[in-house]
Amino acid sequence: MPGLLFLPELRGRPLQCMPFACGRRRHRSGLIRALALWPDAASVSFVRLLLPNPSLIVINTGARREPDGRRNHRKRNIPMATALKRPFGDSGVKEKFDAIVEQIGGIVLGKERQIRLALTCLFSEGHLLIEDLPGIGKTTLAKVLSRCLGLQFRRVQFTSDMLPGDILGTSVFEQKTGRFVFHPGPIFTQVLLADEINRATPKTQSALLEAMEERQVTTEGSTRPLEPPFFVIATQNPLEQSGTFPLPESQLDRFLMRITLGYPDRASEKLLLQQGDAKTIFDDTASCLEPPDVLNIQRRAAGVHLSDALLDYAQDLLDFTRRSEHFAVGLSPRAGLALLRATRTWAYLNGRKFGLPEDLQTVFPWVVGHRLRSAEHFAEIPAERLAAIFRSVPVP
């Protein structure tokens, strides 16, 4: 797992490749790359150091001058988890976001674009659908994402015999008190992994609808709120595989984005085979943020400015889907709101307080791909063809 090393301000001096010793082990990788994270911290630069599994980092707390004129640099070792939990403000947002992506990418290898999209979906207060073959890394991405963001995580393996009460919870009669006591289900968490959601029946799938839209659960006449931030990551296998139930359009529309992971590239797969089981690396992964930080990012991202010209461009895209002969049904206003939320978040995480057409174009295929169907056979449209179709819409 990549580590972090605190150094005094380098004042523009170049860094040289050098070995680094940690305890009794001498690590082969000595490449250091300055990231200049948290620039508001006085006289401290964060430097990314490629280490396999460090648990402590060194921080230089500054130098004080002794009575004899000598400068005494005070250093202390602190846990990595403590050092990573810094306030996530507006300064240096892109660098901080890149550091989080890089930490997750140390486990989910070769999937930087998918990691960025998943984080964008979370910070947009949306839910994520991952569709791909078994064994590609869908579950691993969900687990490491929740760990790095410091959120509570629960996993539900969906099967054909699962009932809604297995997700929402149920009341059990206790003889000692003579009353029914509600036992919350796994949905009462912050990150819920609905693994292989399309293997459950539509009745069980629909149990998530209220929670995803209203952030609350109603059962047995009582409504119980869910702890923010609440984020559903659902994985599904391709529909052509046996034992799957397709998600209805109303359920698909609740997901802000749908992404695919795909097979890793050759270099990433070789590194994965060399590392073997990533469980040890995952167990040592430190959290970068805490729940209040995630809520703060969501609030700041929602305040990103979108110009009237960009709003007109979004409306043109929505209107195009409703008039074009390529699509069976056009995009709904909810899809338009989801598109703008993702656009704001993508712009904010790239260090800007205003959106650009490029931000909208980047997130567009992943926000609308699962909401559109071909007019010919009511089938899904590949992302490449979808992008080609929308090139006919002029950009402001």
Residues 218-235: pLDDT tens digits?
A: 888 888 999 999 999 999
- Domain boundary (69, 84, 99) is at 84
How many CA within 13 A on the CB side of residue 60? 18
Contact predicate 201/245, CB 8 Å? yes
Mean of per-residue pLDDT scores for the chain: 77
- At which of 275, 295, 315 does a domain end? 295
Work out the number of other CB atoms within 10 angstroms of the CB of residue 293.
Answer: 18
Residue 197 belongs to some domain of the structure: yes
SS3 for the chain is: CCEEEEEECCCCCCCCCCCEEECCEEECCCCEEECCCCCCCCCEEEEEECCCCCCEEEEEEEEEECCCCCEEEEEEEEEHHHHHCCCCCCCCHHHHHHHHHHHHHCCCCCCHHHHHHHHHHHHCCCCEEEECCCCCCHHHHHHHHHHHCCCCEEEEECCCCCCCHHHHEEEEEECCCCEEEEEECCCCCCEEEEECHHHCCHHHHHHHHHHHHHCEEEECCEEEECCCCCEEEEEECCCCCCCCCCCCHHHHCCCCEEECCCCCCHHHHHHHHHHCCCHHHHHCCCCCCCHHHHHHHHHHHHCCECCHHHHHHHHHHHHHHHHCCCECCCCCHHHHHHHHHHHHHHHHHCCCCECCHHHHHHHHHHHHCCCCCECCCCCCCCHHHHHHHHCCCCCC
Q: Would you call the peptide bond into 229 cis, given omega within 30 degrees of 0 as the criterion?
A: yes
Torsion of CA 368, 122, 363, 330, to 10 degrees: 20
Tens digit of each residue's pLDDT (9 = 90 or more) over 116-161: 999 999 999 999 999 888 888 888 899 899 988 889 999 999 988 8
How many other CB atoms are there within 10 angstroms of residue 73's CB atom?
10
| pTM value surpassing 0.85 | no
Instruction: Please state the domain count of the chain.
Output: 3
* pLDDT value of position 339: 95
Question: What is the structure's pLDDT at 69?
Answer: 54
CATH code assigned at 156: 3.40.50.300
133: in domain: yes
Q: Which range of residues forms the domain containing residue 384?
A: 303-390
Q: Which of 279, 295, 311 is the last residue of a domain?
A: 295
Do residue 80 and residue 157 come from a single domain? no
> Using an 8 Å Cβ cutoff, are 27 and 36 in contact?
no
For residue 299, what pLDDT is reported? Answer: 94
The percent of residues in the chain predicted with pLDDT above 70, rounded, is: 75
Strand 191-195 relative to strand 153-157, pairing: parallel
Tell me the pLDDT tens digit for each residue of 308-355: 999 999 999 999 999 888 888 889 999 999 999 999 999 999 999 999
Same domain, 210 and 160: yes
Block residue for tokens 């569709």:
131
162, 18: one domain: no
**37 and 106 in a common domain:** no
Whether residue 396 lies inside any domain: the answer is no
Whether residue 99 sits in one domain with residue 56: no
Residue 152 lies in a domain: yes
Structural domain contains residue 265: yes
Residues 6+ apart with CB under 8 A from 82: none
For the chain, which residues score pLDDT lower than 50? 1-65, 73-87
